[in-house]
Structure 1
């Protein structure tokens, strides 16, 4: 925000955005299609109002906006959004400004801020006023977009108009013509009424989604991932390959969970179960432990109508809400879903059993309580990676361990370094034990940290330090083993053994 404080003095202030918090496990990443907004660039949002400001209101064309609304309505607090798109075109119109002294060019392209058909029909009214006793020549710009609030930029000096419009949500000015001749006086007033056109949408392909998957993996904050439009945008083996690529990308990170939706075209129980069984047929417990699938879709209010939307956004909101209320180590099940009024399909008990056996977690409608999340398992059948609560406990511990160990990566490998590392990790694990995340009546029953000559023998490369961590989650009583390695290049790596 900028304003004139005194003649010749300009005061500008801007709100500083919050810093990412990598230790949090309630932050979600949404990869999908939206009405407008930057393509492939992650945007951090902290409310539904932030989503609408950055990406526009939902218009019924895509599922991701409704998933985001469900996330925030169910208690989510922070999300990263990556808009995925094919080779769309950007709406534009030409402003033939003419030789007005003060402008950088005699013509401009008025270009929408992002690709897509969303800006088609947007009207831009530009009014020029010659210099008066009150000051130099100015222009006023008003942008009117169907379905969104108008923007007004009054009394902008000609030399500043392109810079001032960089704050617009809707348009930018791009010079498109030679500079005007110097010193030529302009008319008393002029006006232009422009309409943007020729913007088009394009469905994303596998490469567009793969790029978004790579980008989200580089964000340290998200611990949850959803792709609400994936089932509609890709099909068959292409869709399955993308899901596996997502899991292969996040599995080495050990710090996030993907929540998947059964593709909307698979309407029968056998088709939905077959989709899940095709994924689990890989047999890779490590990969399958990174994902959970929820079904059926939900019916949510949309103006005066009801709309069917994937369940992933609402489920992520429930997980985020329970994370804040109870902690990441609690099972995100038997919890009420808010701001949804019905299920898209009701299944009798034998069909529910069929989905359960295939690894799909259910959304159920129970008498007296409404819609509820009814499952807390990943797609893995291996007991070590089957339970969402255990996986999210690992995610929390890995994030905390990284934070504790990262300041030590450049220290000399010595007994003092080992002791410092053990103390830092013990502090992290004690906090988890006191929060009820670990089993046992005493800390020594709940976890062990080993970093001594047994796993760092004298003949080992002195540029590598190994620290082994064992934790017993509260239920069931099975140990989870983590291996922390400070490599020769001083990188920090956490490996789940």
Structure 2
């Protein structure tokens, strides 16, 4: 802010810097699209380790090539992955929670697993009315057999209430979503058996208590025995403790905790009795003089509301089982741009550089080409590189050479093809199994980018494939020489070194195409520069279009490129030989200025890999002394 001098002395004024730092974007964030055992459908999830994948998507699954590809990605040095689950026919588990209140007693809440899949069948929901206002609100606990648990307290069915159940649960739960039945006076019935309100003076409890589960019955001759069970209970809490102790003393079946883990809670002046069984259909029914005195012969309910349980048990409505679905069809994998499904779910993700589709190699030629064409369009729009696995049916060198023309329509400088597949030990079975290489190759790219930079070819003796026992098609040098000129990146195995990536070309890198984007590191370096400059020059928009702006652009872009040059990103002995930035009256004419356009020309001298090393050896003739 300009200083206004008012007194004799020294004034300090801070001036804004003309330098706006341009930062290089990430280069190795890899997106995996395909079937997983669980997880959100058509929603990108960012992961930083395989442990994250296990928590969000269920870990390795024999019918999920994506799970193995992600595992190999992190095993080979990958740092960040974005996974999009696509599953045909996947359904979420749900259950209806009924109410006996309102004008038309019926559905109070419908609880649905947040993510489709059979994992949702392990979800359990418990309800109690132990709140500060037990006549109007309720508590809801959600748990899963895997150990996850969530608790939501003091919920209301009234949409105007600050603790409206739909708003609170849907915003805070990672396990379920809920939908109201519509009647604000309804409320889900508590689990177990809820007694009638106890009178101010606790009734006589010296009578018998009958407990029944189906056709089986147990009898406690006296619920309270004077001189044996201590003083007579005088509060609902004391009654709850007595009843719980008596129930837990009843004999359980072997391996059962129906009575051993029974819970009795005082809810205001009511008692809530819940069996300790895992089966929600284990409902306790009470009778006898003590049961009548406590008002327990009322309306028993399930032990817990079980998502996916299709039985209509007591107060629980019939549930719907979750389904994992099946491997996606090619149309599901492609998805729709308007619905942001399939591949197009990645359109809203900012930082994605590599795309892996490990399921495509099992598709027919027509379906594979359709998916690759859609993926190539996405990669061009998002400045990404598609890692293409060779079809699994290419089990010989001749099969690869014969099948390569089917991929000609998908040839692109935004894609790289790798052959053959990898033999690794399946962690689930311990047996050797063939896997597509995209996950391992993406991990090597990430490792190479971190150690050397995106301008270093992700190939060579440093690009070792971790955990790989063998390759499905071993190759010799002459055989490798048949595929390399066609733009196929071969995976080779060498003595001592082991399996490595032995190619660094794009699919447009066939010799006959003479593409300027022949080499993968050149293409990826250019994409990094494009995205970095695209993001780093947004400040230019709406600035006054004159020489002062042009000089600032030259200064900032030049500083960014010079930093890369010092790291060895470009060839050339000096900065003048490595790059240039031109933005002046020659690139931006007066007509451009009148049209609101500023033109910036950036050039760089890319590093190309030393693909062929030729050593010439000759014999020296002995010198003849005179």
TM-score by length of 1: 0.79
Following superposition, the deviation at residue 90 of structure 1 comes to 2.2
Q: Given the alignment of the two structures, is residue 245 of structure 1 paired with residue 357 of structure 2, yes or no?
A: no
- Alignment of structure 1 residues 67-106 onto 2, 5 Å: 67-96=69-98, 98-99=100-101
Residue 194 (structure 1) aligns with: 306
Q: CA, structure 1 residues 125+345, in 2 after alignment: closer, same or farther (shift >3 Å)?
A: farther
Provide the secondary structure at the position in 2 that maps to 1:448: strand
Q: Which runs of 5+ in 2 are unaligned?
A: 1-22, 157-162, 196-270, 275-302, 309-320, 337-341, 611-626
Provide the secondary structure at the position in 2 that maps to 1:111: strand
Following superposition, the deviation at residue 132 of structure 1 comes to 9.9
Q: CA, structure 1 residues 270+122, in 2 after alignment: closer, same or farther (shift >3 Å)?
A: farther
Provide the secondary structure at the position in 2 that maps to 1:336: coil
Q: Could you give the per-residue CA deviations for residues 34-67 of structure 1, whole angstroms, max 9, x where no partner exists? A: 1122222211111112222221222211111111
Residue 305 (structure 1) aligns with: 430
Following superposition, the deviation at residue 311 of structure 1 comes to 0.9
Residue 229 (structure 1) aligns with: 359
Residue 122 (structure 1) aligns with: 122
Q: CA, structure 1 residues 442+126, in 2 after alignment: closer, same or farther (shift >3 Å)?
A: same
Q: CA, structure 1 residues 130+360, in 2 after alignment: closer, same or farther (shift >3 Å)?
A: same
Q: CA, structure 1 residues 353+207, in 2 after alignment: closer, same or farther (shift >3 Å)?
A: same
1: CA distance, partners of 2:454 / 2:169 = 44
- Alignment of structure 1 residues 7-406 onto 2, 5 Å: 23-96=25-98, 98-99=100-101, 107-119=108-120, 121-122=121-122, 124=124, 126=126, 128=128, 138-144=139-145, 149-153=146-150, 156-157=153-154, 159=156, 163-164=168-169, 169-176=174-181, 178-180=183-185, 186-187=194-195, 188-189=271-272, 190=274, 191-192=303-304, 194=306, 196=308, 197-210=321-334, 211=336, 212-232=342-362, 234-253=363-382, 255-280=383-408, 288-298=412-422, 299-306=424-431, 307-334=433-460, 335-348=463-476, 351-380=479-508, 381=510, 382-406=514-538
Provide the secondary structure at the position in 2 that maps to 1:30: strand
Q: CA, structure 1 residues 179+105, in 2 after alignment: closer, same or farther (shift >3 Å)?
A: farther
Q: Which runs of 5+ in 1 are unaligned?
A: 1-20, 478-497
Residue 472 (structure 1) aligns with: 605
Count how many residue pairs are aligned between Structure 1 and Structure 2.
443
Higher normalized strand content (fraction of residues): 1
Residue 7 (structure 1) aligns with: none
2: CA distance, partners of 1:93 / 1:137 = 18
TM-score by length of 2: 0.64
Q: CA, structure 1 residues 83+354, in 2 after alignment: closer, same or farther (shift >3 Å)?
A: same
Q: CA, structure 1 residues 230+166, in 2 after alignment: closer, same or farther (shift >3 Å)?
A: farther
Following superposition, the deviation at residue 105 of structure 1 comes to 8.1
Residue 289 (structure 2) aligns with: none
Provide the secondary structure at the position in 1 that maps to 2:388: strand
Provide the secondary structure at the position in 2 that maps to 1:394: helix
Residue range with higher mean Cα deviation, 446-455 or 319-328: 446-455
Q: Could you give the per-residue CA deviations for residues 64-106 of structure 1, whole angstroms, max 9, x where no partner exists? A: 1111111112111112222223353222233346559xxx985
Provide the secondary structure at the position in 1 that maps to 2:83: strand
Following superposition, the deviation at residue 154 of structure 1 comes to 5.9
Residue 6 (structure 1) aligns with: none
CA contact (8 A) 1:294 1:361 kept: yes
Q: CA, structure 1 residues 215+224, in 2 after alignment: closer, same or farther (shift >3 Å)?
A: same
Provide the secondary structure at the position in 1 that maps to 2:325: coil
Following superposition, the deviation at residue 371 of structure 1 comes to 2.1
